[in-house]
Chain A
Amino acid sequence: MGNTVQYLALVQSYTIIGISLIIGLGAVAACIGISLMCCSFLNGASRQPELIPTLQGKVFLLMGLIDAPFIIGVGLAMMFAFANPLLAVIK
């Protein structure tokens, strides 16, 4: 009984560290990608203002694409938080 509780606590603590890394590193990567793209958008919009409507649609789509790994990471993190498959081993 004592060992089981100890193992549970160990798995949960490592899971929390993993979740933090998944969300944190994903957010950092998405921020870098979006900032680079926004920089390019401002550059292009200031050079050719008539292209702004076209660029706007592209920026909207690319933001979704840049955020894709982050959203997948959030989904995985929630899976580990609410339905952790690693805990099934300890019974």
Chain B
Amino acid sequence: MNNVAKITISRDFIKAARWQIIITVLISGVSLMVAGMDAAVSAIVGGTTVIVGGFAGMMMARRPNGGTPGTILFSLLKAEVFRLLVIAVLLLMIFKYFRGLVPLPLIGGLAGSVLAAGAGLRTVNNKNDE
């Protein structure tokens, strides 16, 4: 894998992560006003799960591969599987060990953060194509 691909993936992830953090904080603020401190922490935990999973996937995708389309695709699929595994394990641990959990804000933070990952696509049509 050359440096251009690494930089591209990192830049896309950083752009997406920025929006994910903003959306998570917004949902957490709304939860704080509506349902209290536990709900706000739950929303932050839900959003953080996705961000941590995305970071793990990005680190996996940045690892060296053969450079051919087939090997690149295989490494991207491996990164996606790793990302899903990290998210599932983190969610399992949260539901198992987090005592003050409020489920709905957690799902809200999770959903908002996952959907905000598409914001990284905003970089696609300008800087990436230069």
Contact = CB atoms under 8 A, between A and B. Distances in A.
A68 B103 contact: no
Interface residues of A, number: 34
Interface of B: 2, 4-5, 8-9, 11-13, 16, 46, 50, 54, 57-58, 61, 69-70, 72-73, 76-77, 79-80, 83-84, 87-88, 91-92, 95-96, 101, 103, 106-107, 110-111, 114-115, 117-118, 120-121, 124, 128-129
Q: Main secondary structure on chain A at its contact with chain B?
A: helix
A78 interface: yes
A91 B107 CA distance: 25
A54 B106 contact: no
Interface stretch (A1-9, A12-20, A41-49): A41-49
B110 A71 contact: yes
A12 to B, nearest CB: 16
A63 B86 CA distance: 15
Given A72-B114, A75-B106, A75-B107, A54 B8 contact: yes
Given A75-B107, A79-B103, A83-B103, A56 B72 contact: yes
Q: Main secondary structure on chain B at its contact with chain A?
A: helix
A27 B39 CA distance: 29
B69 A46 contact: yes
Contacts of A72: 107, 110-111, 114
B76 A63 contact: yes
Contacts of B121: 58, 61-62, 65
A54 B128 contact: yes
Interface string A50-80: 0011101111111111011011101110110
11 contacts: A52-B69, A54-B128, A60-B76, A71-B87, A72-B111, A75-B46, A75-B106, A76-B107, A79-B107, A83-B101, A83-B103
